[in-house]
Amino acid sequence: MSHSGTPGGQPGPQRTTDRAPALSEPARAYAELIAGNRRFVSGAPRHPNQDAGHRAAVADGQHPFAVIVGCSDSRLAAEIIFDRGLGDLFVVRTAGHTAGPEVLGSVEYAVTVLGTPLVVVLGHDSCGAVQAAREVATTGTQPQGHLRAVVDAVLPSLRRAETEGVQDIDGIVDIHIAQTVETLLGQSPVLADEVAQGRCAVVGVSYRLAAGAVSPVAAVPACFATLGEEAGPLGPAAPAAA
Ligand SMILES: [Zn+2]
């Protein structure tokens, strides 16, 4: 595996070694992501791996430590909100983080060919794709063109929210994030096997547009849902989650 212990060539301040010496590779990758998000939230990003030297260094090959399956929303730029740079994240984005065949294939490529140990589903509050699906579910009016494919992919989450009695849009978003995690694992035996073997984890996180912070809403293995807290301080800036 080529995931470096210090993605980005950063010195890795204290890391988690004294409190969690046996963190697995997926757990270390998740800790790196959370640490980057905390830097971003606190207004103290380091912008790692964005210099010319690193650009040249990664030209011969990529070893991203996380796959991001995120919404295309323009305010959800993965490298910015996780404070990472070139070669760090393998990013697949669609409106409403739908998980169709090309997305599944892209995830499988990263996990099996590149050896990436973590898949993160990244959704957010006020998601337009989820709102569009709710509009369709409410009015029955079908959207134009290929937008229908996006809405159709989100509708199962709307039905699940209805069954669970969840009506607020951000609650529905959280359900859709969890649904996307389940879809990835359910539709990709390759990914499910990597997770079963302990080589990979899949975590769904919800991002708050105004605060900039992510919080986990679903995870396989389930322990990843609380890993950020268990791992203790991950970096120089660790503000309490709002
Ligand atoms: Zn969205």
| pLDDT exceeds 90 at position 234 | no
Name the residue among 122, 25, 107, 19 with its Cα closest to residue 65. Answer: 25
In the reported structure, the alpha carbon of residue 94 is separated from the centroid of ligand 1 by a whole-number distance in angstroms of: 8
Confidence band of 226 (pLDDT split at 50, 70, 90): confident
Residue listed under structure tokens 């063109």:
145
In the reported structure, the alpha carbon of residue 128 is separated from the centroid of ligand 1 by a whole-number distance in angstroms of: 5
Tell me if 167 sits within 8 A of 161, measured CB to CB: yes
Helix count and strand count (H, E) for the chain: 9, 5
Strands 214-220 and 201-207: antiparallel
pLDDT tens for each residue of 153-167: 999 999 999 999 999
Question: Could you tell me which residue, 71 or 233, shows the higher pLDDT?
Answer: 71
pLDDT at res. 20: 44
In the reported structure, the alpha carbon of residue 174 is separated from the centroid of ligand 1 by a whole-number distance in angstroms of: 12
In the reported structure, the alpha carbon of residue 125 is separated from the centroid of ligand 1 by a whole-number distance in angstroms of: 8
Residues 6 or more apart whose CB falls under 8 angstroms from that of 3 comprise 25, 28, 29, 63, 65, 115, 116, 117
pLDDT at res. 228: 60
Q: How buried is residue 73: exposed, middle or buried, by Cβ count under 10 Å (0-12/13-18/19+)?
A: buried
pLDDT at res. 225: 84
In the reported structure, the alpha carbon of residue 123 is separated from the centroid of ligand 1 by a whole-number distance in angstroms of: 6
In the reported structure, the alpha carbon of residue 6 is separated from the centroid of ligand 1 by a whole-number distance in angstroms of: 30
pTM assigned to the model: 0.86
In the reported structure, the alpha carbon of residue 84 is separated from the centroid of ligand 1 by a whole-number distance in angstroms of: 21
In the reported structure, the alpha carbon of residue 240 is separated from the centroid of ligand 1 by a whole-number distance in angstroms of: 25
| pLDDT exceeds 70 at position 239 | no
Written as six digits, the tokens of 183 are: 């879809």
| pLDDT exceeds 70 at position 14 | no
In the reported structure, the alpha carbon of residue 96 is separated from the centroid of ligand 1 by a whole-number distance in angstroms of: 5
| pLDDT exceeds 90 at position 118 | yes
Tell me if 124 sits within 8 A of 209, measured CB to CB: yes
In the reported structure, the alpha carbon of residue 91 is separated from the centroid of ligand 1 by a whole-number distance in angstroms of: 15
Residues 36 and 183: their CA atoms lie apart, in Å, by 27
Report the pLDDT averaged over residues 30-43: 97
Helix, coil or strand: residue 201: strand
